[in-house]
């Protein structure tokens, strides 16, 4: 068993830090609490959690400044898209041992077939299919034969040239 590098813990840490920094810069009331709230809910409800949890910081900011509330809405939406399309597939690919393109493609195919539920279930389905194929698929033994071994030519040194 390989040692784990805990890549799966980066998103729950990155989300509140990024959102908290933005909320602090915009002057939102209780930015740390709001960032933790959005980060917590977004991790437990993967697809829609960010938008549901984002209502609270938007409302609090709206009471202070409607213009800044619009900026908070835009920041929450943009961050969620960056997380979904850049961070999550790479981290999921490492933790599930799936290639990033396969992870992204399985979420897209799952979403196209079953909608939002399919997008959530696409990654576990791809990991399951990969696991079954790895366990039950045909394996070919690699033969190490001296007849097919490539020998590298050594470059002559300065002494050998003289």
What is residue 55's predicted lDDT score, i.e. its pLDDT?
92
Q: Which residues of the chain have a pLDDT value below 50?
A: 1, 3
Statement to judge: residues 57 and 103 lie in one domain: no
Residue 149 domain-assigned (yes or no): no
Those residues with Cβ within 8 angstroms of residue 92's Cβ, 6 or more apart along the chain or in another chain:
98, 103, 123
Question: Which of 62, 42, 63 shows the shortest CA–CA distance to 53?
Answer: 42
Domain span including residue 111: 97-134
What is residue 93's predicted lDDT score, i.e. its pLDDT?
67
The 10 Å Cβ neighbour count of residue 118 is 17
The tokens for 135 are 């366990």
Residue 108 domain-assigned (yes or no): yes
Statement to judge: residues 91 and 16 lie in one domain: yes
| Count of the separate structural domains present in the chain | 2
The 10 Å Cβ neighbour count of residue 112 is 11
0.85 exceeded by pTM: no
Residue 155 domain-assigned (yes or no): no
pLDDT digits 0-9 by tens, 102-135:
878 888 898 899 888 888 788 888 888 888 888 8
What is residue 81's predicted lDDT score, i.e. its pLDDT?
84
Residue 25 domain-assigned (yes or no): yes
Statement to judge: residues 11 and 89 lie in one domain: yes
């Amino acid at each position: 068993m390989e040692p784990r590098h805990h890549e799966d813990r980066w998103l729950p840490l990155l989300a509140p830090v990024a959102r908290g920094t933005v909320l602090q810069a915009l002057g939102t009331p209780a930015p740390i609490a709001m960032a933790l709230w959005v980060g917590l809910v977004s991790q437990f409800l993967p697809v829609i959690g960010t938008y549901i949890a984002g209502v609270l910081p938007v409302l609090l900011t709206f009471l202070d400044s409607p213009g800044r509330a619009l900026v908070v809405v835009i920041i929450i939406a943009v961050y969620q898209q960056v997380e979904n399309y850049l961070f999550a597939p790479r981290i999921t690919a490492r933790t599930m041992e799936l290639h990033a393109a396969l992870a992204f493609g399985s979420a897209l195919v799952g979403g196209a077939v079953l909608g939002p539920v399919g997008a959530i279930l696409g990654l576990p389905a791809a990991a399951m299919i990969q696991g079954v194929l790895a366990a039950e698929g045909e394996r070919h033994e690699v033969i190490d034969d001296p007849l097919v071994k490539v020998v590298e030519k050594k470059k002559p040194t300065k002494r050998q040239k003289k």
